[in-house]
Chains A and B, each alone.
Chain A
Amino acid sequence: MPELIYRVSQVDVFRSWEDDPDADMNWLIKELTGKVETPDMKRGTAFHAALEKLGTGEVERIDSQGHTFIFDGDFELPAFPVREIRKSKDYGGITVSGKVDAINGHHVLDHKAATWFDAERYFKKYQWRYYLDIFGADRFTWYVWEMQEADTTDDSRVFVVRDLHVLEQYRYPHLERDCRDLALRLKSFAEQHLVKPGPQSIVASLEITDEDIAS
């Protein structure tokens, strides 16, 4: 049996599929095994990459990976000492791997680039639960950057950051159990629908590139 390793985002995709009675299984399999990057994902990746490099001080705009972000408002962001760190945890035959945007002690910070803010959407996800569990943290803070794309005359993508929403969640009793239960349901699904027989089976296209000395 090959090792089952999934990213937190893939586990969340599985959860959203479970929650949606009309969701198609082929869609899920594609999501779990593919590497399609949508324009919104590219925007998020570019914004994250830019934030990761910022030191203390002030900026009016940031340019990253062909994207420009202009701040239309005064915003404050705490500079967490450790950024973009990956760690994984075994939930009983399935490993879930997560990469936090920033961590400070027992506090995890996560950035989201969004066109609108919907707190319930973030609460429903398991991302924050897994990050708290995998990184042994107690507090999770979303920095949701609300932005709209500006019209441009060329191919460049320019976004105006209009608002920042800070939302928090915390560790709760049975958090680990909730994470384990969902991971094991995904394991069951993967074994039934994704694992091909033979020693060379590939479950998902995930490659863990950061060998984790801590694990």
Chain B
Amino acid sequence: MTLRIIKANEPIQVTRLNLCIYAPPGVGKTSLGFTAEDPLDLDFDNGAYRACNRKDSVACSRWSDVSDMDAEDLAPYQTIIVDTAGRALDKLSADIIADNVKNGKKDGSLSLQGFGVLKSRFAAWLKVVNGFGKDVVLICHMDEQRNGDDVIERLDAQGSSKNEIYKSVDAMGRVFVRQGKDKKTQRFLDFSPREGAFGKNPGQLEELEIPHPDKNPRFLAEVIAQIKAKLNAMSADQVAEQSRLDEWKTAIDDLASLDDFNLLIGNVRNAPDAAKMYFHSKATDKGFTFNKKAMQYEVKPEKAYA
């Protein structure tokens, strides 16, 4: 039982994505899912038949219907749609309680121990599917939480299992209906967090108007590609920034005297912000204080520098 501190190592290439889409009933979540790249719909809600652009789907009545799937079963598909994630987690909960009654409570919900099992089994399943190189889209119903006059739109999933969805997804978007530019009712997908709605927007996408699947049958595939591209650009930028910061940190760690710090001030001005802040904190640790008028460090009068 230990805490292991490891060297920070940022991901370089994002090849697969876990995405959550949530919306109220009847706005076309499943149809949207079918516009992903080579989708397979894991139909836990028995609603795939309603999609106007229906593609391959599997009716799932038990968690084992999906946990038994292997790489060969999923080979023809690029995107695995869990429809809906809340219902899938209900099935997983039932499976966990069936395995061990201590995982459940008398009312049929998961015990604390059961939630621990749910957390690890759900994460493990996602990891396996991602390991097959698949993107996963978790479709969720939307729940409205009232707070006075305000409404908070959030995922509709049982208890703490909701947390597992929030943790596991790289991006999370909300589908809503509003009047579009042509004055007709239009569906939108918004990844940004808003007052009263949750979101994760690593692609830094503006609100997207969702076209009818006949007009763009690859809409979600394109959205996922954009998010991956942005994440990869961020990763490349991050690796470069991390490398610059490491170089600066090494140089700053070598500074010992007041003169050392003052000589480096001019160069530090061109350093990344984190390096500037590290430089200043190290100077402060040494007992130096920055004189803004002289633009130099000085020894703090009350703290002699050894």
Contacts and interface: CB of A to CB of B under 8 A. Distances in A.
Judge: A and B partners, yes or no.
yes
Interface string A131-163: 000011011000000000000000000000101
Contacts, number: 173
A65 B11 CA distance: 35
A81 B170 CA distance: 24
Contact of B200 (A19, A87, A170): A170
Given A81-B246, A106-B234, A170-B201, A76 B6 contact: yes
Interface in A146-186: 161, 163, 165-174
B294 to A, nearest CB: 13
B260 interface: no
Most chain A CB within 10 A, of B147, B205, B242, B277, is at: B277
Interface in A60-87: 60, 62, 70-82, 84-87
B1 A73 contact: yes
A71 B2 contact: yes
B156 to A, nearest CB: 13
B68 interface: no
Given A119-B163, A123-B166, A57 B274 contact: no
A118 interface: yes
A57 B5 contact: yes
Given A85-B281, A214-B273, A19 B147 contact: yes
Contacts of A163: 116
B284 interface: yes
Contact of A213 (B1, B199, B268): B268
A1 interface: no
B142 to A, nearest CB: 13
Contact of B249 (A57, A62, A81): A81
Most chain A CB within 10 A, of B8, B191, B238, B276, is at: B8
B108 interface: no
B141 interface: no
A173 B205 CA distance: 7
Contacts of A84: 281
A89 to B, nearest CB: 11
A21 B149 contact: yes
Interface residues of B, number: 60
Q: How many A residues are at the interface, by size bracket?
A: 35 or more
Contacts of B166: 119-120, 123, 167
Interface in A113-131: 117-120, 123
B4 interface: yes
A67 B275 CA distance: 32
Given A19-B150, A21-B149, A76-B4, A123 B198 contact: yes
A212 interface: yes
B9 interface: yes
A60 B1 contact: yes
Contacts of A93: none
A172 B280 CA distance: 30
B245 interface: yes
A213 B241 CA distance: 19
A166 B168 CA distance: 9
A85 B201 contact: no
30 contacts: A20-B147, A54-B5, A56-B5, A56-B7, A59-B5, A74-B2, A75-B3, A76-B6, A81-B246, A85-B281, A87-B273, A104-B8, A105-B10, A105-B245, A119-B166, A120-B162, A123-B193, A135-B273, A138-B234, A139-B238, A161-B3, A170-B200, A172-B193, A172-B204, A210-B284, A211-B292, A213-B279, A213-B290, A214-B276, A214-B280
